[in-house]
Structure 1
Amino acid sequence: MFAGKLIFKQVMDFVPLPTFRRCVSRYQGDFRVRTFSCLDQFLCMAFAQITHRESLRDIEICLRSQNKKLYHMGIRGTVSKSTLAEANEKRDWRIYAEFAQSLIATARELYKEDSFLEELNETVYALDATTIDLCLSMFPWALFRKNKAAVKLHTLLDLKGNIPTFIHISDGKLHDVNTLDLLRLEAGAYYVMDRGYLDFERLYAFNQIPAFFVTRAKTNMKFQRRYSHPVDKETGLRCDQTIVLTGFYTGKHYPDTLRRVKFRDPKTGKILVFLTNNFTLPALTIAQLYRSRWQVELFFKWIKQHLRIKRFYGTSENAVKTQVWIAVSVYVIVAIMKKRLNFEESLYTILQILSVSAFEKIDLYQLVTERDCKPVNTDTRNQLKLF
């Protein structure tokens, strides 16, 4: 029988506490705090994410019902709705944003050897945004439309391991293309985007790094063909062209040549036209790169279904950003745990198991894989023979 740590504690052991304390110290998160520290706040909010708690009252009731186990979970302060609400309201959300970024760096290092496309050794990112609708009367700072509020999660996803490397939380009014101004482009990397990011002045900055982009062309784009490359039409390709932009503003903003690839999806019959500044990859690989952009859509769908980011525990901007960044931290912690323990199960399976086992005392590896762990001491020389 395993008589060690609680499952929740075993998961939180993957949290690098020295890094967390540095983030807290940098923003003075525990300044004049006596009983409920930033670590207590993080653990309570992480518990809420893992066990799918609906409200602060829900968190308080669940944790107080297991009051004798809180110390073993790492929670030292008294858990109450008002204390947790005040912590979410006042403690700087940048503590958890910076801590999440450190976890992301660790996860990317663990997943860097994973294969994505055989012909690509460079990093491939997918850039997109998702909108979370809110009530305007409760979230007046997140004005989206006249009678509607919303926040946007602008996310850059590393497709090796589906790890979010950049997240920017804004109100609903910020246009997707403005996110390109916030990115720190990585030399040699590929950035896959939809037509919402088609701004030739901003895309021209990729050539200066240099980095590569793959996006879709708009139907009214004016261009002139310079050269046509041969393609195998049995693969779905229709053309592979080198072009220059001839529009007054587009030609001025992007004076270099572009590559235009037309592809017919064999499943749907839809014609897709891609633009890229990479002239060396096969045309079919360009189409496959854009198809991989769907991973970021699946990531948004996954976190909305399995993490608490559609319903918020507080209404202030600080509380919303705190909850989102802690949710991202939990996602990355589970991804790190999955890699370090060599779990073959999906993140969905692992989180579902953890959600109903947080207070159990069983070995984490045994719980997830349903395998019996061998005892540490296998010496049976002193055991009596019963049969």
Structure 2
Amino acid sequence: MHQGRIVFSQLLDFLPKKSFRTCVNRYGGNYRIRSLTCYEQFLCMAFAQLTYREILRDTVLCLRAMHNKLHHIGIQNKVAKSTLADANEKRDWRIYCDFAQVLIGQARKLYADDDFGLQLDETVYALDASTIDLCRSVFPWARFRSTKSGIKVHTLLDLRGNIPSFVSITDAKVHDVNILDELFPEPGSIYVMDRAYLDFERLYRLHRGLSFFILRSKSNTQLRRLYSAPVDKSTGVICDQTVRPVRINSANAYPGKLRRIKYYDLETEKRLTFLTNHFELEARTVADLYKCRWQVELFFKWIKQHLRIKKFFGISEPAVKTQIWIAISVYVLVAIMKKRLKLEQSLYTILQVLSITIFEKTLISWAMTGSNYNNKFASGHIQLNLFDS
């Protein structure tokens, strides 16, 4: 029987602590801090994510119940509700933002060779945004509508491993297309987006950065056909055309040529029109790549269901953003552990097991093995009969 370190401590082995200290020092996070350092704050919030705590009071009560084990993970001081609340409200959320980017960089290297269903050498990203609704009277800083507040999480998802390579948190009032101004085009990569990102000036910036894009066309987008390429209509492709924008402003914003592909999806019985600057891919491959964009929708659905980002422990902007960035860090940290330990279980299964074994003294690989729970006396009749004479 394993009598070594607890599961939480083993998980933290995959945490680059030196990089975390660099992020803390960059923003002076521990300046004049007497108790509950930034690292201890991170551990408390990570504990809440891993054990599905919904409110701050529950988190502190559970941590106090495990007070004799907290020193094993690096929490040296007694955790008080007011101290943790103040830390979330006042400390710079950019510490955890920068640290999440460090973890993302490590995870992307581990998942670089994963297959996402299409045999392509290029890196493929899916870009989208999801809104988290907030109460207007409690979160007045998160501007959205006159009756409610909200924040928007913009995510660029690497389809190899479903690792977010870029995340930006803004007011829900910010339009999706504005996030293209923050992206640095990666030469040779393919960006898959929905029609909300159709802006010719911003798309041409991606094109000049030697990147490719695939997105749906809007119904009112005016394009002039230059010529058509032959297509195999049995694959669902209706036409494959080379086009230019018709309107003067659009033509000036995007002076190059575009490729327009019309496709009929038998599953949804919808007719879709795609625009891309990639002229080498097969027309059906372009349609298949757009279908892969659904992975970012599933990512948003997954993190909203399994991470604590719908109810917040604080009401200030730093508190909300700190909680979201730590939640993303926990997601990526578990993904790193899964890859390095070569675990076959899904992230959902791993998180479920971690939630009940986090302070157990057992190897993580054992905890994830189904045979670990089998009764060693399974053979033979072992049930006692209360009515035997």
- The letter for the 2-side match of 1:320 is V
Residue 182 of structure 2: aligned partner = 182
* 1:246 lines up with 2:256 in the alignment: no
Q: Are 1:87 and 2:106 matched, yes or no?
A: no
Matches within 5 A, 1:302-317: 302-317=302-317
Q: How does 1:44-59 map to 2 (within 5 A)?
A: 44-59=44-59
2:89 partner amino acid: E
What is the SS of the residue equivalent to 1:315? coil
Tell me, yes or no, if structure 1 residue 19 matches structure 2 residue 19.
yes
Deviation at 1:220, TM superposition (A): 1.3
Q: Which residue of 2 aligns with 1:96?
A: 96
Match of 1:70 in 2: 70
Q: Work out the CA distance in 2 between the residues paired with 1:39 and 1:118.
A: 40
Matches within 5 A, 1:22-41: 22-41=22-41
SS of 1:310's equivalent in the other structure is coil
Larger CA deviation: 41-50 vs 249-258: 249-258
Deviation at residue 197 of structure 1 after TM alignment: 0.5
Q: Please name the residue that 2:383 is paired with.
A: none
Looking at structure 1, the residues matched to 237 and 226 of structure 2 have their Cα atoms a distance apart, in angstroms, of 18
Deviation at 1:126, TM superposition (A): 0.5
Partner of 2:386: none
Measured after TM superposition, the shift of residue 260 of structure 1 is 0.3
Residues of 1 paired with 2:264 and 2:77: CA distance?
60
1:254-313 CA distances to partner (integer Å, 9 max, x unpaired)?
Answer: 111100001100112100000000000000110011000000000000000000001110
Q: Show the 5 A alignment for 1:106-121.
A: 106-121=106-121
Partner of 1:380: none
The normalised TM-score by structure 1 is 0.95
Question: In structure 1, how many angstroms separate the alpha carbons of the residues matched to 2:34 and 2:221?
Answer: 61
Distance in 2 (CA, whole Å) between partners of 1:301 and 1:116 is: 19
Q: Deviation digits for residues 51-79 of structure 1, max 9, x if unmatched?
A: 01011110110010111111112211211
Amino acid at match of 2:181: D
**Could you tell me which residue of structure 1 aligns to residue 366 of structure 2?**
366
Q: Equivalents in 2 of 1:222, 1:4: separation in Å? A: 67
The amino acid that maps onto 2:322 is T
* 1:379 paired residue number: none
- Deviation of 1:116 after TM superposition, in Å, equals 2.8
Q: Which amino acid aligns with 2:38?
A: C
Residues 93 and 321, structure 1, Cα contact 8 Å, conserved in 2: yes
Match of 1:267 in 2: 267
Tell me what 1:200 maps to: 200
Q: Structure 1 CA distance, aligned partners of 2:338 and 2:228?
A: 46
Q: CA deviation at 1:143?
A: 1.6
1:121-136 correspondence runs (5 A): 121-136=121-136
Sequence identity (%): 59
Q: Distance in 1 between matches of 2:370 and 2:161?
A: 24
Residue 119 of structure 1 and its aligned partner are, at CA, apart by: 3.5
Cross-structure match for 2:385: none
Q: Structure 2 regions of 5+ residues with no counterpart?
A: 373-389
Q: What SS is found at the alignment partner of 2:274?
A: strand
CA distance in 1, matches of 2:118, 2:168: 31
Deviation larger for 98-107 or 200-209: 200-209
Provide the rounded CA distance (Å) in 2 between the counterparts of 1:158 and 1:70.
Answer: 35
**Root mean square deviation of aligned Cα:** 1.2
Matches of 1:118 and 1:142 in 2, distance apart? Answer: 39
1:7 and 2:27 aligned: no
Structure 1 Cα separation of the partners of residues 222 and 35 of structure 2: 64
Distance across 1 between alignment mates of 2:288 and 2:349? 28
Residue 234 (str. 1) matches residue 234 (str. 2) = yes
3-state secondary structure, aligned to 1:337: helix
- Counterpart of 2:87, as a letter, is A
Residue 371 of structure 1 deviates from its aligned partner by 4.8
Whole-angstrom distance in 1 between the partners of 2:340 and 2:46: 20
- Paired residue secondary structure (1:242): strand
Contact 1:242 1:258 in 2 (8 A): yes
Query: Which residue of 2 is the match for residue 381 of structure 1?
Result: none
- The separation in 2 between residues aligned to 1:118 and 1:82, in whole angstroms, is 51
Q: Which residue number corresponds to residue 145 of structure 1?
A: 145
Tell me which residue corresponds to 1:282: 282
1:205 alignment partner, SS class: helix
Query: 3-state DSSP class of the match of 2:368?
Result: helix
The 3-state SS of whatever aligns with 1:140 is coil
Q: In the TM superposition, what is the alpha-carbon distance from 1:369 to its structure 2 partner?
A: 2.2
Alpha-carbon distance in 2 for matches of 1:5, 1:234: 59
The 2-side partners of 1:116 and 1:64 are apart by: 43
Question: How far, CA to CA, are the matches of 1:294 and 1:326 in structure 2?
Answer: 25
CA contact (8 A) 1:343 1:369 kept: no
Give the AA of the match of 1:9.
S
> Which digits, 9 at most, give the CA deviation of each residue in 1:346-370, with x for residues without a partner?
1011001111111111110010123
Alpha-carbon distance between aligned partners in 1 of 2:47 and 2:109, rounded to the nearest angstrom: 26
Aligned partners of 1:119, 1:135: CA distance in 2, in Å?
45
Moved over 4 A (4+): none
Q: TM-score, normalised by structure 2?
A: 0.94
The secondary structure found in structure 1 opposite 2:43 is helix
Q: Could you tell which deviates more after superposition, 2-11 or 300-309?
A: 2-11
What is the match of residue 383 of structure 1? none
Q: Distance in 1 between matches of 2:153 and 2:168?
A: 6
Q: For 2:8, give the aligned amino acid.
A: F
